[in-house]
Structure 1
């Protein structure tokens, strides 16, 4: 239900953020309480990001927005279909599916199992899904009750009586609590009433639940995300505690990483290394996430009084250290996810050692920045480019572009236009006062000005080249003088298969 800052960037790129925001409640803080009252608050708006908050949106509304967008692009979505089994070979994948009483065989080039924690695809591939089951059992209820807390914050109570979480919904609240024993028999709101009474100092009238359910929690990670032509994504690849709202957000990022690679591969570009990079990039992210969520869950559910007191003291201390809370927020929001160790990213021979550690590194998520169009004067955000699912070469020029820089621009414009028109778009970024009269404007070249120095603050001063992938991560960086190395990189990663 909780959509973090990085997922909101993904939704903006997919042009579904507006309907999702309309169906959501915006959460601007996380409030935590212990046995003796308030412990600390995380201010989500302090995030350095285009969307510094969390959206509370029922998953059904998220799926509705994605479905409508998918169909508007010509996609066909068929529900009520069961995968029975599949086989694969060098020619493709053949899957038997059942709709009602009808069974048919579908032939495809690639198959993605995004079919949840009990994934049929993962089981038929024989891929291990090892992990642990938590001892705690959870009870969840959605109620129309109007709680006394601020409705733009989530509220977590880490107390002797157990864990209680209150999450604001677009209307009403979602309440979650945990205990050691399983919830047996008919479910009711009485456990929530009993738990809330000492917190509020009075007995709340919760009304009738819109939804009430019980669940238990696992922590598991697939041994592999790919076997030949078949891939795993989302809960089929990793499951974890709901604390921290990491599971769905991680699954969304899995799909965003995988989808552009599948698209290029199916169009005849790239090779096996392009597909291999999905597991190489995303499995370490899930592994790190699982360990972080596991620590959060165990700390939230600790029972020994001494350990609770120690935990509460550490949380109070963390709340008073802005640098630490900023790092926690970036981790929780998934803005600091990177693929620096991926074999798919790289940089040219950076002779200018002075800027090696300035600006994003290959594999990092590119920061956003405001840029003004030289042609129209309109303001744009760098992340607006992600609406075109191609690679974007950002050619950052110096304040007074010299002959060599203009020559490189001419050469890159010509080469990219001839060989990579469908895969790489060129955008020139110049400083606010840079004269643009001698900068070529042929073809589809954009020339954008650094509006208020935001680009230079995040990337450093030019002249440099930054190649942004369709998922917003940095594929390649180099000085402008290394244009030949950039072209070699493009030939390796995005060249036609078989060449």
Structure 2
């Protein structure tokens, strides 16, 4: 979304998660061991994140209006009509579709009559942002799973955020003394936290909307799912909802694709939220457990997990959401020959596309595959064999011509030659971008060609097949990105 730079500038980089029990240190999760371009967490106040997103949204031509209340809406075959109130003024808006991204208490969800089933946790949570010189390292978050209750300490760009769980709301007016008393049990002495910059209390729910869509109206983000903040999954899940829905709406509103494209939003994203909520619920219950025997068992398991590299890696992949996939989606597929000999090589349809270093055949400069594919369209990657045969060159020519004519604004072609292919044998085709595998990284992630890989705007694989399936690929593109039929 082109917002990493300003967000990172307003953040503190966290490289680890440190967890402690009643008897001290349990384990540390090293975020830098994650095989990804950004193996760390950015600790950034929500107000700064919102500021950066709003600036980017406006720079792209978006209009943001605050202080508006949705009163009600109706929908029919031609669109959605909504009544809104701004101050004392009533106004009617009309649109082709509407997205309810209006949070846990979503008016849109309620008026659609969509159930939001789940439970509320019995624990109560307190939060304080303080200017405090902590004794702990400030490039790691710290979680204390103690008999008195959970306490989390998060370094902010300035100061610390403290979050603690209690069995019930405090009887006296909330102030930092309750945090100081809990910290005294951990540190052995009572710290002076000073005046908090922000102090608040909240409760936690676990709920999931029964549906994400009713005709022309959609739900996204907290309007569709809400969960414990432990594990920091909520915002990323909501952003991925929005990205998944937006590229599909973008195509559909321009007259491309079919109803199946819009149906796939709920089919893809609701199972992700369901799995995420279950995992976060297990994490929350384990973190808040009170019985001594269960606590000892939990701490033993955490120590064991911290000492096993494969288990730590699996936790990181899940927490980073890099393992989210849509393999069961009705709009991802393999070509008819895709099962012959290479089923286990490379990503499967619905998987997040791996990254790899590539070298420009024209300039010799190195680039990452993900950087080349940032434009929000479908990207077709034509992977060539070590010695490109005549049929591969014909497919390259045909795809370059067909995509340029029929899908110029929806699908771009990128050609990847094998590392071993001599420079003189790498095909050239007009303005098509030709790249060469750098040190075998592409082959390690995708296997050996010749193959076709189609990436969606959200970075997930839509289609894969041998080069011989080019005609089938074009049929697939017609189904997903073709002009809508009149009527």
> Do the two structures share a fold, i.e. TM-score over 0.5?
yes
TM norm structure 1: 0.96
User: In the alignment, which residue of structure 2 is the partner of 1:325?
Assistant: 312
User: In the alignment, which residue of structure 2 is the partner of 1:213?
Assistant: 200
Stretches of 4+ aligned residues off by more than 6 angstroms: none
Partner Cα separation in structure 2 for residue 70 and residue 469 of structure 1: 22
* Residue 376 in structure 1 maps to residue 363 in structure 2: yes
Could you say if the C-alpha distance between residues 363 and 351 of structure 1 is closer, same or farther in structure 2, counting changes exceeding 3 Å? closer
Give the C-alpha shift of residue 62 in structure 1.
Answer: 1.2
Q: 1:161 aligns with which of 135, 140, 148?
A: 148
Q: 1:276 aligns with which of 247, 263, 281?
A: 263
Partner Cα separation in structure 1 for residue 4 and residue 54 of structure 2: 13
Q: 2:213 aligns with which of 223, 226, 229?
A: 226
* Partner deviation per Cα, 1:25-82 (whole Å, 9 max, x = no partner): 1111110000000000101111111111111111111111111111111111111111
SS in 2 for 1:353: coil
Give the C-alpha shift of residue 265 in structure 1.
Answer: 0.5
Give the C-alpha shift of residue 320 in structure 1.
Answer: 1.1
User: In the alignment, which residue of structure 2 is the partner of 1:435?
Assistant: 422
* Conserved 8 A contact 2:71-2:83: yes
Give the C-alpha shift of residue 90 in structure 1.
Answer: 0.5
Give the C-alpha shift of residue 182 in structure 1.
Answer: 1.7
* Residue 410 in structure 1 maps to residue 397 in structure 2: yes
Q: Which aligned pairs between 1:54-93 and structure 2 lie closer than 5 A?
A: 54-93=41-80
SS in 1 for 2:244: helix
* Residue 174 in structure 1 maps to residue 161 in structure 2: yes
Structure 1 residue runs of 5 or longer lacking an equivalent are 1-13
* Partner deviation per Cα, 1:236-287 (whole Å, 9 max, x = no partner): 0000001000111110111111110010011110011000000000000000
SS in 1 for 2:341: helix
User: In the alignment, which residue of structure 2 is the partner of 1:484?
Assistant: 471
SS in 1 for 2:203: strand
* Conserved 8 A contact 1:189-1:206: yes
* Conserved 8 A contact 1:410-1:440: no
TM norm structure 2: 0.98
* Conserved 8 A contact 1:258-1:278: yes
* Conserved 8 A contact 1:225-1:231: yes
Q: 1:96 aligns with which of 61, 74, 83?
A: 83
* Residue 385 in structure 1 maps to residue 376 in structure 2: no
User: In the alignment, which residue of structure 2 is the partner of 1:464?
Assistant: 451
Q: 2:173 aligns with which of 186, 195, 207?
A: 186
User: In the alignment, which residue of structure 2 is the partner of 1:311?
Assistant: 298
Give the C-alpha shift of residue 452 in structure 1.
Answer: 2.0
User: In the alignment, which residue of structure 1 is the partner of 2:232?
Assistant: 245
* Conserved 8 A contact 1:137-1:183: no
Q: Which aligned pairs between 1:450-461 and structure 2 lie closer than 5 A?
A: 450-461=437-448
User: In the alignment, which residue of structure 1 is the partner of 2:184?
Assistant: 197
User: In the alignment, which residue of structure 1 is the partner of 2:111?
Assistant: 124
Q: Which aligned pairs between 1:413-428 and structure 2 lie closer than 5 A?
A: 413-428=400-415
* Partner deviation per Cα, 1:154-195 (whole Å, 9 max, x = no partner): 100001111100011111110000111123442101111001
* Conserved 8 A contact 2:387-2:425: no
Could you say if the C-alpha distance between residues 369 and 219 of structure 1 is closer, same or farther in structure 2, counting changes exceeding 3 Å? same
SS in 2 for 1:427: strand
Could you say if the C-alpha distance between residues 485 and 305 of structure 1 is closer, same or farther in structure 2, counting changes exceeding 3 Å? same
Give the C-alpha shift of residue 442 in structure 1.
Answer: 4.0
* Conserved 8 A contact 2:416-2:435: yes
SS in 2 for 1:131: strand
Structure 2 residue runs of 5 or longer lacking an equivalent are none
Q: 1:290 aligns with which of 250, 254, 277?
A: 277
Partner Cα separation in structure 1 for residue 160 and residue 119 of structure 2: 30
SS in 2 for 1:207: coil
* Conserved 8 A contact 1:468-1:476: yes
* Residue 109 in structure 1 maps to residue 96 in structure 2: yes
Count of residues paired in the alignment: 486
SS in 1 for 2:61: coil
> RMSD of aligned C-alpha atoms?
1.2
* Residue 341 in structure 1 maps to residue 328 in structure 2: yes
Could you say if the C-alpha distance between residues 110 and 437 of structure 1 is closer, same or farther in structure 2, counting changes exceeding 3 Å? farther
Task: Judge which range, 47-56 or 344-353, deviates more.
Answer: 344-353
Give the C-alpha shift of residue 303 in structure 1.
Answer: 0.3
